[in-house]
């Protein structure tokens, strides 16, 4: 009998960026797999708790509330982040810090506060990088975004080694452009150029990326840690 992509029965997922396209898709898939979901986002709803992932106190309070409600955290997916834009000469220092904090510093804050509960459950963590962090990016997303996403790749390698003794697996996915509201900032010509760059001929969906994350969280991904997967539709050839 074949095993499902993910069996989350009895498990609890903490997902940041839970109101965004990929975060929502991950939460939906996890619930379908039988798990419970604790969502965090700057834009809360009935199912998503308010949290500023760039603020140390906000992250600590949110994770404490999840533990108080659910008693455990088995899986963590960090899908929160923002994109930049523009060429280096036009990049202001405040914008540099803003993009790095939202994408990279936030992952550090989340990992630090989730280390103990993940060790207790021998859990799994997945960080969301980007092809921009592997190919240098472009002015469409800006220098700070490329640097932050590259930092996530190496943070995963570091955490995988440090947390191995505790039985915690840490991985990363680095998709290219994904058909989510984040691409709304681009004009139709730019969007089509990105789609044309896909060897598959189309932009991946949020559901496609969620499936890759589910693979890393599930038993099928048991041999993966410290790894960055490349669900980019051939946009970037790793």
Residue numbers annotated as active site: 145
Contact present, 167 and 122 (Cβ < 8 Å): yes
Q: How many residues does the chain have?
A: 238
- How many Cβ atoms from other residues are within 10 Å of residue 142's Cβ? 23
Q: How far is CA 174 from each of CA 128, 135, 154, 228, 232, rounded to the nearest angstrom?
A: 6, 11, 12, 7, 7
Q: Rounded to whole angstroms, how far apart are CA atoms 36 and 176?
A: 28
> Which token pair is 223?
């041999």
Residue 233: which of 202, 189, 211, 206 has the closest Cα?
202
Phi, psi dihedrals of residue 173, rounded to the nearest 5°: -120, 145
127 strand-pairing partners: 78, 172
């Amino acid at each position: 009998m074949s095993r499902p992509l993910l069996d989350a029965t009895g498990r609890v997922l903490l997902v940041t960026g839970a109101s965004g396209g990929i975060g929502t898709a991950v939460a939906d898939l996890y619930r379908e797999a039988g798990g419970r979901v604790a969502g965090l986002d700057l834009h809360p709803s009935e199912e998503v708790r308010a949290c500023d992932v760039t603020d140390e106190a906000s992250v600590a309070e949110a994770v404490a509330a999840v533990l108080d409600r659910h008693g455990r955290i088995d899986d963590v997916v960090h899908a929160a982040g923002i994109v930049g834009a523009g060429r280096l000469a036009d990049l202001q220092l405040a914008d540099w810090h803003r993009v790095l904090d939202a994408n990279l510093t936030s992952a550090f804050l989340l990992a630090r506060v989730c280390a103990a509960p993940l060790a207790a459950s021998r859990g799994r963590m997945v960080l969301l990088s980007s092809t921009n962090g592997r190919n240098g990016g472009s002015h469409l997303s800006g220098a700070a975004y490329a640097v932050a996403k590259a930092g996530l790749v190496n943070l995963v390698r570091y955490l995988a080694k440090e947390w191995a003794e505790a039985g915690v697996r840490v991985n990363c996915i680095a998709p290219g452009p994904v058909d989510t509201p984040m691409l709304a900032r681009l004009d139709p010509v730019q969007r089509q150029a990105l789609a044309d760059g896909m060897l598959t001929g189309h932009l991946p969906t949020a559901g496609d990326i969620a499936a890759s994350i589910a693979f890393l969280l599930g038993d099928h991904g048991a041999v993966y840690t410290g790894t960055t997967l490349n669900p980019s539709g051939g946009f970037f050839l790793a």
